[in-house]
């Protein structure tokens, strides 16, 4: 239910703004989410900040974010109008699920989900595509034995190929020049999207990348895609027209690729940083880096928590979703990776669809809203050790997997991520495939405890670059 404006009893607090720039001078431009978390300590779970001329309301903590996005879902379902995103909402892309407003996003959301359904994509078929791509990923890493490889790029390519194969039944080679250019453009776009300058109409570099990504994705895929839907090709009046398909594909790429591959990269870093979670303490003391880099390890002797579970349940079979319920530790580790990595700390920007009262605070229609996911995933009242990497957050005393309400990396409510099921399958299948085949170690001369977990700047916050050794397991 939605509470009307006349129920407002409290006034929104905010830091004092300066003329023109508002509160931008107090923002940590590299990690704005950190500033917002700090401000919530002073101003409470709902406060406003002035981003230039735009007043933005920040929601902090599990209770408040849930109250807005779930309990008052309709009132907080709109996407905020960000100038650089608007570039795509004019003309082509009116029906972008990510960027459009009013009724359009609802149509596009239904359209996205029904298109995936129309393609006959039951869960099992999608799973088959991912399992096949896992094979290519392992093969690719194996084939480059001894050479340095850019894991971020390879993970991007694997995840992007899943989207391509779901839509087209085809895949690209990881070295295809057009494909790698597309991946590069998407990465740059997402990095730039995390900088506050995107809020302003003058974010030219960002717009350049955004528009290029959009057209390149379109050129690469749309024509082939229409071979599935020839009757729709010239029907520009229906929702099922060329531009909407372009939007759909471009949106699936930009929303689905970087998020999943960034989470996988965090997983790789965290397993390297915390070897006891990856394998047994005994094994971590063996002399490793120089010798084992890309050579075969002797079979692990005893009880590595994560890899032991993989060995016990999977053996040498390729991972499949049906095994997940038998692998509570693996499930807990993957959930904790998502919680800890916190890759979309500020969520995507929302806006109010109507005048609304939130826990006594009046918020007018059309106000920008930041549902601060970082504050939910690190909420002190919800997590035993909010700042630590602690898979036990998702395990009970008997080692069984437990779900947590405050686990919201995919957000909640009307705009909750549409790719959640796909992403969860990808994370489980890619991650267990990698850990089944490789052991991860810090580079020679670097102690795992020295690995820096500071996130990089961007709309999705990934790990900083690190050198990591992947040793093939026997």
What six digits make up the tokens of 400? 């069984």
Kindly state whether residue 97 participates in binding ligand HEM, applying the rule CB under 6 A.
yes
Q: Tell me whether residue 102 is exposed, middle or buried, using C-beta atoms within 10 angstroms of its C-beta: 0 to 12, 13 to 18, 19 or more.
A: exposed
CB of 326 to ligand HEM, least distance (A): 23
Q: If you ran DSSP here, which 8-state letter would residue 304 be given?
A: -
CB of 208 to ligand HEM, least distance (A): 23
Nearer to ligand HEM, 98 or 270 (CB): 98
Q: Which is nearest to 95 in space by CA: 213, 254, 239? A: 239
Cα 177 to Cα 187: distance, rounded to the nearest angstrom: 15
* Residue 442 three-state SS: strand
Kindly state whether residue 442 participates in binding ligand HEM, applying the rule CB under 6 A.
no
Kindly state whether residue 211 participates in binding ligand HEM, applying the rule CB under 6 A.
no
Stretch that binds ligand HEM, among 32-40, 58-66, 177-185, 255-263 (CB under 6 A): 255-263
Does the annotation flag 417 for ligand binding?
yes
Kindly state whether residue 72 participates in binding ligand HEM, applying the rule CB under 6 A.
no
User: Which helix (H) or strand (E) segment is 471 a member of?
Assistant: strand 468-472
Kindly state whether residue 337 participates in binding ligand HEM, applying the rule CB under 6 A.
no
Kindly state whether residue 423 participates in binding ligand HEM, applying the rule CB under 6 A.
yes
User: Site for ligand HEM (CB under 6 A): how many residues?
Assistant: 27
Nearer to ligand HEM, 59 or 255 (CB): 255
The terminus-to-terminus CA distance of the chain in angstroms comes to 57
Q: Which is nearest to 206 in space by CA: 75, 85, 29? A: 85
Nearer to ligand HEM, 120 or 230 (CB): 120
Which of 242, 411, 436, 442 touches ligand HEM (CB under 6 A)? 411
- Which residues, 6 or more positions from 416, have their beta carbon under 8 angstroms from its beta carbon? 69, 410
- Which residues, 6 or more positions from 276, have their beta carbon under 8 angstroms from its beta carbon? 284, 305
Kindly state whether residue 409 participates in binding ligand HEM, applying the rule CB under 6 A.
yes
- Which residues, 6 or more positions from 251, have their beta carbon under 8 angstroms from its beta carbon? 96, 97, 98, 112
Angle between helices 420-437 and 242-273 (to 10 degrees): 40
Which of 39, 57, 58, 98 touches ligand HEM (CB under 6 A)? 98
Q: What does the DSSP assignment read for 317-378?
A: SPP-GGGGGG-HHHHHHHHHHHHHH-SSTT-S-EE-SS-EEETTEEE-TT-EEEE-HHHHHT
CB of 33 to ligand HEM, least distance (A): 13
Kindly state whether residue 419 participates in binding ligand HEM, applying the rule CB under 6 A.
yes
CB of 72 to ligand HEM, least distance (A): 13
Which of 26, 168, 417, 472 touches ligand HEM (CB under 6 A)? 417
Stretch that binds ligand HEM, among 39-47, 204-212, 387-395, 403-411 (CB under 6 A): 403-411
Binding site for ligand HEM (CB under 6 A): 97-98, 105, 109, 163, 251-252, 255-256, 259-260, 263, 343-344, 347-348, 350, 409-411, 415-419, 422-423
List residues forming the annotated binding site for heme. Answer: 417
List residues forming the annotated binding site. Answer: 417
């Amino acid at each position: 239910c939605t509470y009307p404006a006349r129920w407002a009893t409290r006034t929104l607090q905010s830091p004092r703004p300066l003329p023109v720039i508002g509160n931008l001078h107090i923002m940590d431009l590299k990690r704005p989410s950190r500033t917002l978390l700090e401000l919530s300590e002073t101003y409470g779970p709902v406060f406003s900040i002035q981003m230039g001329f735009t007043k933005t309301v920040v929601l902090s903590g599990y209770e408040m974010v849930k109250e807005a996005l779930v309990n008052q879902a309709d009132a907080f379902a709109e996407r905020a109008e960000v100038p650089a995103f608007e570039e795509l909402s004019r003309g082509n892309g009116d029906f972008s699920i990510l960027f459009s407003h009013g009724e359009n996003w609802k149509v596009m959301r239904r359209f996205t989900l029904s298109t995936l359904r129309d393609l006959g994509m039951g869960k099992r078929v999608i799973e088959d595509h991912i399992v096949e791509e896992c094979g290519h990923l392992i093969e690719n890493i194996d084939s480059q034995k001894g050479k340095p490889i850019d894991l971020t790029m390879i993970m991007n390519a694997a995840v992007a190929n899943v989207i391509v194969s779901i839509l087209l039944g085809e895949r690209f080679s990881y070295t295809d020049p057009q494909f790698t250019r597309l991946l590069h453009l998407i990465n740059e776009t997402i990095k730039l999207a995390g900088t506050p300058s995107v809020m302003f109409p003058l974010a030219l570099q960002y717009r350049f990348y955004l528009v290029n990504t959009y057209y390149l994705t379109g050129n690469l895929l749309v024509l082939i895609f229409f071979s599935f839907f020839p009757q729709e090709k010239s029907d520009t009046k229906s929702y099922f027209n060329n531009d909407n398909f372009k939007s759909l594909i471009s949106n699936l790429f930009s929303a689905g690729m970087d998020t999943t591959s960034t989470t996988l990269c965090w997983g790789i870093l965290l397993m390297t940083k915390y070897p006891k979670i990856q394998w047994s303490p005994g094994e971590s003391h063996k002399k490793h880096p120089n010798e084992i880099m890309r050579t075969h390890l002797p079979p692990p002797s005893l009880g590595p928590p994560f890899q032991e579970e993989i060995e016990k349940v999977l053996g040498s079979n390729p991972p499949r979703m049906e095994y997940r319920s038998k692998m509570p530790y693996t499930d807990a580790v993957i959930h904790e990776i998502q919680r800890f990595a916190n890759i979309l700390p500020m969520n995507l920007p929302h806006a109010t669809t109507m005048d609304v009262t939130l826990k006594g605070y009046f918020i007018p229609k059309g106000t920008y809203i930041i549902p601060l996911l970082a504050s939910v995933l690190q909420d002190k009242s919800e997590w035993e050790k909010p700042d630590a990497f602690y898979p036990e957050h998702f395990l009970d005393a008997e080692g069984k997997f437990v779900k947590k309400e405050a686990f919201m990396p995919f957000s909640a409510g009307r705009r909750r991520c549409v790719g959640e099921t796909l992403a969860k399958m990808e994370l489980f299948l890619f991650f267990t495939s990698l850990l089944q085949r490789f052991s991860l170690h810090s580079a020679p001369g670097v102690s795992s405890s020295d690995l820096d977990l500071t996130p990089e700047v961007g709309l999705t916050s990934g790990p900083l670059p690190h050198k990591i050794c992947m040793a093939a397991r026997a």
